[in-house]
Structure 1
Amino acid sequence: MNKRPLSFLTPNEFVKEFVNADGHDLIPKATQTPDGIYPEHSVFSIMRIEEFGRHIKFPIPPGRSTTYHFCWLTKGQMIRTDALQRYVIGPDTIWFYKSGNIMSTESLSTDAEGYYCLFDKEYILQLLKNQNSLDELPFFQPDGNPLINLDADASDEVAYLLKKMEREHLNRQAERKVMIGLLLCQLLLQMKRHSTFLTDKKIYGAAEILTHRFLQSLKKFALQQRSVTFYAGLLNVSPNHLNKCVKDRTGKPATAHIADMIILEAKVMLTQTEKNISEIAYFLGFEDFSYFSRHFKKHAGFTPKEYRESFEYLDVA
């Protein structure tokens, strides 16, 4: 078994591993090299969900990507997760993903329509004066809401910009990368006007804000800190209050989410690294391999070996 050494998924790897062979034809041949690699696809790509989605193998397991993503639906439904937070994307909504986060896709309805877009950070930063401006956009910040509901006028603006990007992407005219980048910048800035923060007390209640901050903290500290007391101290509340608020909002106490985050990290390592299962167990703080295997099966429903083998198509030749 030869798995890729990095725990991040590049656009070319995504196409190779999750798209059926006949789906490769949806990518313009003009952008392919003789060996089937898509060099421009690593910088920017835009796809029609209704054409591309039927070639995807669902569910897409948890993983990290090297690129930023967003998807906009005009019809149907897509269910995606960012770490432990689940998002249902419906008509006239746009969802953003920041590079490096753990993302998975549960499902895409057969009637779904819209656009799926991914882009490289360095590509867009070439067009921006402020090199921090991309991560300063609300929907790419930890407390920003990555899901934006659009009214009719905003949806029309998004549709116009995405159709222009699609045309530029399919054409081989000069300066198309700059044109696409400018259109992409315009779309991102337009969405900034419609974005919200999940810590806005005018919109969200105290328990909802606390739960969000706890789940965001898990992304940063779960591999080092697994005590509810630590997170309670970080958030300036008591452990009992944190457990109660989180359970009221999610149906599970904070302790369960800590365990879930460790399992999520294990899933990523099982499908996106070369480490053997013993090495993964040790990396995640389990000195007893057998205990790790039992713990994983209790939460995931499979042993680590069974889970890895269920995604054998992720192997790289």
Structure 2
Amino acid sequence: MNKVESIEDFYKRKFNWLPDNIRNEIGHFNVFPLDPYVGENAQPVPYKRRDFYKVMLVVGPARVHYADKVVEVKKQALSFSNPKIPYKWEYTEKIRSGFFCIFNQHFFSHFGNLNQYEVFQPGGNHVYELTDEQVEKVRQVFARMQEEIASEYAHKYDMLRNLVFELLHFALKMEPVSSLGKQRINASQRIATLFLELLERQFPIEDAHPVVALRSATEFAQQLNVHVNHLNRAVKEVTDKTTTQVIAERLLQEAKILLKHSTWNVSEIAYSLGFSEVTHFNNFFKKHMGTSPLKFRNA
């Protein structure tokens, strides 16, 4: 896989310069119009991870790859990406206009945990199709960002954080209220959440050597210091799946990503996912997908 693109790499790639305040005590934030990078000037966005957050308004049809999902933007959309999730945009030449803002974790270090919001979670929704009316509302928020960042107001970065939250909640309010969201936080949810976070920390994989150390319910239970039966009950109650199912689905998701977007051979992929034998990986993949890893890659 390609190395993680840092916020410094982003500036060098886009502008060949680096802001003076990129490492200061308030973190980094910036906002840009999308117009110079779309249409005839469009450049393909490679599939890779970034070490910064990005919120983008896209006006025009496009296709975005998130993990093993492909999301079609039919007309216009608001998208969110975070350092944990690789992505790639296609058909950028068809995008007419838009805006995007970028910021690092340090910019919000004393203002809440962004990863608690679904738009920045690995299993959450990251692309929101917008109506013409919604596009204008979002466009106004980005315009206010541009106005604030160019101002001399002493507390402009507080204003900018508020505007990021405004976009975040604008998207979340478009989501239907889930039954899980209505439930009271209890012990099972806490354990299941810790398990899912621990599982997700092992991904995405970027080096062709074993990095998936935790692969069984027992190993996760030991790491979380709970009995394996307690863990299994909690995960089943919250996700309606067994612990083994959740682990297998995440391994399968990463396997599909590596087969699609890396140049590693099947043995290297199997090894990186913690399979001691490539035969075991082939059997695992065929059991869940009905086809071999090589046939999936070549399809």
Corresponding residue of 1:261: 254
Q: Give, in whole Å, the separation in 2 of the partners of 1:265 and 1:199.
A: 33
Q: Give, in whole Å, the separation in 2 of the partners of 1:65 and 1:286.
A: 27
Task: Mark the CA change 1:137 to 1:147 in structure 2 (over 3 Å): closer, same or farther.
Answer: same
Deviation at 1:8, TM superposition (A): 2.6
- Tell me the secondary structure at the aligned position of residue 91 of structure 2: strand
Corresponding residue of 2:135: 155
Q: Give, in whole Å, the separation in 2 of the partners of 1:280 and 1:301.
A: 15
Do residues 137 (structure 1) and 117 (structure 2) align?
A: yes
1:95-114 paired onto structure 2 within 5 Å: 95-114=79-98
Deviation at 1:79, TM superposition (A): 1.7
**What amino acid does structure 1 have at the position aligned with 2:104?**
D
Q: Give, in whole Å, the separation in 1 of the partners of 2:65 and 2:156.
A: 31
Corresponding residue of 1:313: none
Q: Give, in whole Å, the separation in 2 of the partners of 1:120 and 1:281.
A: 33
Deviation at 1:147, TM superposition (A): 2.9
Query: Identity over the aligned pairs, expressed in percent?
Result: 16
Q: Give, in whole Å, the separation in 1 of the partners of 2:118 and 2:281.
A: 37
In structure 2, list runs of 5 or more residues that go unmatched. 181-195, 204-211, 221-231, 283-291
Q: Give, in whole Å, the separation in 2 of the partners of 1:288 and 1:189.
A: 49
Task: Mark the CA change 1:47 to 1:189 in structure 2 (over 3 Å): closer, same or farther.
Answer: closer
Q: Give, in whole Å, the separation in 1 of the partners of 2:280 and 2:21.
A: 45
Do residues 299 (structure 1) and 288 (structure 2) align?
A: no
Q: Give, in whole Å, the separation in 1 of the partners of 2:147 and 2:166.
A: 21
1:260-279 paired onto structure 2 within 5 Å: 260-265=253-258
Instruction: Considering Cα pairs closer than 8 Å and 6+ residues apart, tell me whether 1 or 2 has the greater RCO.
Output: 1
On the 8 A contact 2:275/2:281 being kept in 1, the answer is yes
Corresponding residue of 2:30: 45
Corresponding residue of 1:200: 178
Q: Deviations over 1:104-131 (max 9, x none)?
A: 22332424311122111211345x3xx3
Deviation at 1:65, TM superposition (A): 1.5
Deviation at 1:95, TM superposition (A): 1.3
Q: Give, in whole Å, the separation in 1 of the partners of 2:241 and 2:109.
A: 42
- Tell me the secondary structure at the aligned position of residue 274 of structure 2: coil
Deviation at 1:98, TM superposition (A): 2.4
Q: How large is the Cα RMSD of the aligned pairs?
A: 4.8
The TM-score normalised by the length of structure 1 is 0.56
- Which one is further off, 78-87 or 147-156? 147-156
Residue in structure 2 matching 1:58, options 44, 59, 67? 44
The TM-score normalised by the length of structure 2 is 0.59
